[in-house]
Amino acid sequence: MKSIKKDIINIPTSLLAKNVETVFASNIEAEKYIDKKNRYAKKAVRKNLRKLYPNCAYCEDSLNNLYPEIEHYRPKSIYYWFAYSWDNFLYSCSKCNRIKSNKFFIQGTQAEYNNETLQELQISCKKTDEQEKPLVLNPEQFEQTDLDKHFYFKFDGKIYPNTLQMKTTIKVCGLNRIDLINLRIKILNELKHTLSNLYLTFKNDKNIYIKARNTVLDSFEQDIDNNSDFTAWRKFIITNIKAKIN
Ligand SMILES: [Zn+2]
């Protein structure tokens, strides 16, 4: 999971447009989410989320070739008053979004609607988190160093939890589903394949082999940036392979 820095000062103005105000008021009056097609939220935020999220908020699969979905961190079916809140929107792949669906678990006290205006609810995740102590991790609410403490990987391609929050997140979003394990293993196998080809080519000259191998590993490491998919997994691979050979 990768930390995402959302601009919480410049909230998209479209989220405070008249039509959103109207549908927000209807939800409040009905005390449930009634904008079934979620069309106002979609229109207002998709462009902004696309810039922030090259990869899924939960599984880190690339969103380039998938149809990304607007994910309500706190499900709109329960938290109808957060349906148009800027900091409640994440961007995820359709699989994580569907598996998570309206699941949300907390350790604290359940939040309730408290007569806030649409504007006041735009940035309210931190405050609500303090009360609810959610068990689903939100990549926008953590620095990378804090997120990293919640999980680790093994070479079997699975993600493992260090905390109850991560254990819950893995379960709620299906982060060890077979397609994700296969994608992680594919990245690992491609690197391994490159390294074994190098070995076969240069096995008679150890020095040249080591130089070429280090170049491949350095380049793998340098290619990990904010846009890379599966960054946490890629970092695990490179750290462990480098540790093994040194
Ligand atoms: Zn995903």
pLDDT score, position 37: 62
pLDDT at residue 193, rounded to an integer: 97
Helices (H), the chain: 18-30, 39-52, 94-100, 125-132, 144-148, 164-173, 178-202, 206-222, 231-245
What are the b/e assignments for 143-174, b being 16+ CB within 10 Å?
eeeebbebbebeeebebebeeebbebbbbbbb
Give distance in angstroms: CA of 24 to centre of ligand 1.
28
Rounded to the nearest whole angstrom, what is the distance from the C-alpha of residue 72 to the centroid of ligand 1? 13
CA of 136 to the centre of ligand 1 (A): 14
Ligand 1 centroid distance, CA of 178 (Å): 12
Distance 213 CA to ligand 1 centre (A): 32
If you measure from the C-alpha of residue 64 to the centroid of ligand 1, how many angstroms do you get, rounded to a whole number?
Answer: 12
* Residues with Cβ–ion distance below 5 A, ligand 1: 56, 58-59, 93, 96
Domain boundaries of the chain, sorted by first residue:
13-173, 178-245
| pLDDT tens for each residue of the chain, 246 residues long | 999 999 888 899 888 888 889 999 999 999 999 876 667 667 778 889 999 999 999 999 999 877 899 999 999 999 999 999 999 999 999 999 999 999 999 999 999 999 999 999 999 999 999 999 999 999 999 999 999 999 999 999 999 999 999 999 999 999 999 999 999 999 999 999 999 999 999 989 999 999 999 999 999 999 999 889 999 999 999 999 999 988
| Ligand 1 midpoint to CA 93 (Å) | 4
> pTM of the prediction?
0.94
Q: How many angstroms is it from 58 CA to the middle of ligand 1?
A: 5
